[in-house]
Amino acid sequence: MKKILSILTIITVLFSSCDKDDTSPVLDSPGKVSVNFDAVFGNADFALNTNFTAGTKTYNFNKFRYWVSNVVLVKANGEEYSVPKSYFLLEETAAVTVQDGAYTYPANKRELVELSDIPAGEYKGIKFGVGVESKYNDNLSLTIGELSQLNGMTNVSWMWHTSYIFTAVAGKVTESAVTKNIQVETGLNANYKNVSLNFPQNLKVGGTAASSINLKADVAKALDGIDVTATPIVGAAQATTMTTLANNYSTKVFSVASVN
């Protein structure tokens, strides 16, 4: 009788273990994480050649581009994992002529970044830079990730040598029946900024589990505090305005919509 009870106990434990494995993904090997940078303008989905109203101004954009670099995922215990070679160009743009028309960078919309070989575990946040840090910004011959001179995101007018444009918003703004072309950009080493975001809940990564981070990138907040009708062109000559713009990207533009 004791032998029969022991066998039944073993069978029960085995079935219990199988049920647990069937319902919970095993986080025992590196996994993939999708990071979606959903561009918006306030509460509306961002799109090119579309009118957006903010206060007394109406915007119509033909470009929104920015560099995301040095991605770091923060574990629930506070440990950080730096994603190797994580330099990504996020964009929604029409065709861009490069090197005085020698090349044409095709129209593109890119909001999704795929991170692979992420150590298994639970993560509570994400960090990343907006722009390109000085090591690569000061020497465009160095390549890593998606950094390239042939993407229309370089500028020769800001410094004595070519450097990257960190963020770019362009199009038109109309106010009081007056329309102006706008080109609002950031660059220069001092305007490389860091973003730190906490998740509403821990993100599980590992094995075959599908893991995703859904962020919002708000163009309206990028322009917060900047009168683009008075200053339609923002570059190195508008240093104070450029600093305000760069700080907006660091503290206001990005937010977490959800993780799963």
pLDDT digits (tens, 9 = 90+) for 45-62: 999 999 999 999 999 999
pLDDT value of residue 11:
45
Mean pLDDT of 199-219: 95
Q: Is the pLDDT of residue 161 over 70?
A: yes
**Rounded average pLDDT over 19-37:** 73
pLDDT at 17 over 80: no
Does the pLDDT at position 78 exceed 50?
A: yes
Rounded mean pLDDT of 72-86? 98
Domain range list for the chain: 32-259
Give the model confidence (pLDDT) of 200-209 as tens digits.
Answer: 999 999 988 8
How high is the pLDDT of residue 25? 53
User: What pLDDT does residue 204 have?
Assistant: 96
Which tokens sit at 58?
A: 């109406």
Distances from the Cα of 44 to the Cα of 50, 72, 183, angstroms? 11, 29, 21
With tokens 């861009």, the residue in question is 96
Mean pLDDT of 155-160: 79
Phi/psi of residue 226, nearest 5 degrees: -115, 125
166/168 Cα distance (integer angstroms): 7
Which two three-digit tokens encode residue 3?
């032998």
Instruction: State the DSSP H helix or E strand holding residue 95, giving kind and residue range, or none if neither.
Output: none
Q: How confident is the model at residue 150 (pLDDT cuts 50, 70, 90)?
A: confident
What is the share, in percent, of the chain residues with pLDDT greater than 90?
A: 78
Count other C-beta atoms under 10 Å from residue 238's C-beta: 16
Cα within 13 Å of Cα(23), Cβ side: 6
The pLDDT assigned to 13 comes to 45
| Band of pLDDT at residue 26, cut at 50, 70 and 90 | low
pLDDT band at residue 210, thresholds of 50, 70 and 90? confident
